[in-house]
Amino acid sequence: MNHSKFFCITILAFLLLGLNSWYSGQSTLSEDHSPISIEGNDALATFIATEGLTGEGTFASPYIIENFNIDASFGGGIRGNAIEIRSTDAYLIIRDCTIEDGRANWAANDGIYLSNVKNVEISHNEIINNICGIELENSNNTVISGNTVNNNEVGGISLSFSNANTLFQNTVSNNDWGSGISLSWSNNNILSGNTAGTNDAEGIYLGSSSNNTLTENIANNNGYDGIFLSSSSYNTLSGNMASYNSESGLQMQDSPNTTLSGNTANDNNEYGIYLSQSSNSRLSENIAIRNHYKGIYLGSSSNNLLSRNTANDNYDDGICLGSSSNNILSGNTANDNYDDGIYLSSSSNNILSGNTVNDNGNGIYLSSESSTNTIYFNHIYGNTDNQGYEEDDCIDNRWDNGTTGNFWEDDYLTNYPSASNDGTFWDTPYEISGDGSGIDRFPLVGSITTTDTTTTATTTDDIDSDTPGFSLLVAISVGIFLFLRKRKRRRNEIIL
């Protein structure tokens, strides 16, 4: 072996050994330990020294609690939890611990409980069969990563009144009664790459929580919704998968200014994506197919933008607006739905443009006093019952924008066999089916190119990302993870 190759291999070996030492600390052997209860920085420093653990509680040298096996049925502290830490801001890592049975033998203890704490990292722990797996109250700037949190009674990971935390690549499954991951009154948090499935309630729940970012999480097969937002605003959900849930994939109630992009919500027992009383939101490039009710539903929700979404093969409607006005639907695909491609009920002043609506029961259907809507530049063809339908109480709808109508494909010549055209428009207006007075005055001769006709977008507040300095590698890992995932693939109601 030549000297240069030997030198490179030697350097690489030292780097790998250093990385392993950084991650594993001084010990790789687990040991049984009684429950841990700490309040204040002084008590934490004393515990570290007494136990012979490493670290100085600083950014460069955090305290490390690791490789403990704790039977949580014999909990300690004020609340009797396996690891309970209160009122500290020293830098601390809790890792590679096994914590279990906090609900055994009539006990009611959490796995890890933090109250009024900052600068803690909880990583690669196995937390099973407790009351709550990991619970944070009034705790900020923590990182929770790579943990397995399963079979806990009232939820997996719970944050309340806790801000600027990062939850990354945790597995949170089979938790009873509560959600896999829940945030209550908690803002500016990042949830990325977590798997929250087969929980009794929601996979991920946000209540009264704003300016959070949920990216590339998997929330499948949950007892309620995959991801549920209640009274939460200015949140961003991108690239998440929420499928096979007992209720809806993604549900927003009273949660305005939400950004949903690139999410997949398929095969849910109710809706794919459901917005109720949620306005000023943007939904783009989401996929909602094969849901047992509607693909995408807006109820009492106004001033939203839906663009380039796919809502196909649903057992009811592809996209439905109920009592929802002043929305823009642009460049969406709603094909092969059992009922309607796009259905409006009691919804007015909406713009439908550049959508593809093929092979449904009805193409675009207006009912229940849906009025003054503008519908143009859509591709509407091959729908079984009607291409467009307007009930008699729907007035002043425009099936063109004054210069351009819709492309009705072969259905136009079936209805108007003697019509002629100038290469762009047919000379005979297309009458909309139903008892209304709808008419397309400028039906198109040729196919259309789907475009997003909007130029405005909902903006969100800047997100505070003041995470612990000693967890910089975790933050970098999140960025690398998202970048590689994005490069690897681009994701392909009730009527009020």
Tokens linked to 64: 């490390």
- b/e sequence 25-62, b meaning 16+ C-beta within 10 Å: beeeeeeebebbbbbeeeebbebbeeeebbbebeeeeb
Q: Pick the more confident residue, 416 or 24.
A: 416
Instruction: With a cut of 70, say whether residue 478 has pLDDT above it.
Output: no
Q: Pick the more confident residue, 126 or 152.
A: 126
Q: What pLDDT score was predicted for residue 13?
A: 33
Instruction: With a cut of 70, say whether residue 275 has pLDDT above it.
Output: yes
SS3 49: helix
Q: Which of 53, 55, 44 is nearest to 85 (CA)?
A: 44
Q: What pLDDT score was predicted for residue 152?
A: 82
Q: Pick the more confident residue, 411 or 440.
A: 440
Q: What percent of the chain has pLDDT over 70?
A: 81
Q: Which of 301, 309, 315, 402 is nearest to 344 (CA)?
A: 301
Q: Which residue has the tokens 């819709």?
A: 406
Instruction: Summarize pLDDT for 193-234 with one digit per residue, the tens.
Output: 999 999 999 999 999 999 999 999 999 999 999 999 999 999
Contact 225, 201 (CB under 8 A): no
Tokens linked to 294: 């509607």
Q: What pLDDT score was predicted for residue 468?
A: 41
Q: What pLDDT score was predicted for residue 74?
A: 64
Instruction: With a cut of 90, say whether residue 246 has pLDDT above it.
Output: yes
Task: Give the pLDDT mean for 330-335.
Answer: 98
3-state secondary structure 231-260: CCCCCEEECCECCCCCCCCEEEECCCCCEE
Q: What pLDDT score was predicted for residue 392?
A: 95
Most confident of 77-91, 196-210, 462-476: 196-210
Confidence of residue 75 (pLDDT cuts 50, 70, 90): low
Give the β-pairing of 430-431 and 439-440: antiparallel
Report the range of poorest mean pLDDT among 101-110, 122-131, 369-378, 471-480: 471-480
Instruction: With a cut of 50, say whether residue 480 has pLDDT above it.
Output: no
Average pLDDT score over the chain: 86
Contact 317, 364 (CB under 8 A): no
- H or E element, residue 488: helix 472-488
* DSSP category for residue 129: S
Q: Which residue has the tokens 């397309």?
A: 440
Q: Pick the more confident residue, 418 or 450.
A: 418
Instruction: For residues 203 and 242, give the distance between their C-alpha atoms in angstroms, rounded to a whole number.
Output: 8
Domain 282-457 has CATH 2.160.20.10: yes
Instruction: With a cut of 50, say whether residue 6 has pLDDT above it.
Output: no
CA distances from 261 to 258, 312, 443 (A): 10, 17, 32
Task: Give the pLDDT mean for 395-400.
Answer: 97
Instruction: Summarize pLDDT for 176-193 with one digit per residue, the tens.
Output: 888 999 999 999 999 999
Instruction: With a cut of 50, say whether residue 20 has pLDDT above it.
Output: no
Tokens linked to 29: 């052997």
Instruction: With a cut of 60, say whether residue 465 has pLDDT above it.
Output: no
* DSSP category for residue 480: H
Q: What pLDDT score was predicted for residue 454?
A: 43
Q: Which residue has the tokens 């009811």?
A: 316
pTM of the model: 0.85
Q: Which residue has the tokens 């996209």?
A: 319
Instruction: Summarize pLDDT for 140-159 with one digit per residue, the tens.
Output: 999 999 999 998 888 899 99
Tokens linked to 306: 């839906």
Report the range of poorest mean pLDDT among 47-56, 106-115, 273-282, 474-483: 474-483
Q: What pLDDT score was predicted for residue 3?
A: 43
Q: Which of 210, 208, 211, 150 is nearest to 181 (CA)?
A: 150
Instruction: With a cut of 60, say whether residue 76 has pLDDT above it.
Output: no
Read out DSSP for 167-194? EES-EEES--SS-SEEEES--S-EEES-
Q: What pLDDT score was predicted for residue 80?
A: 62
Instruction: For residues 173 and 177, give the distance between their C-alpha atoms in angstroms, rounded to a whole number.
Output: 12
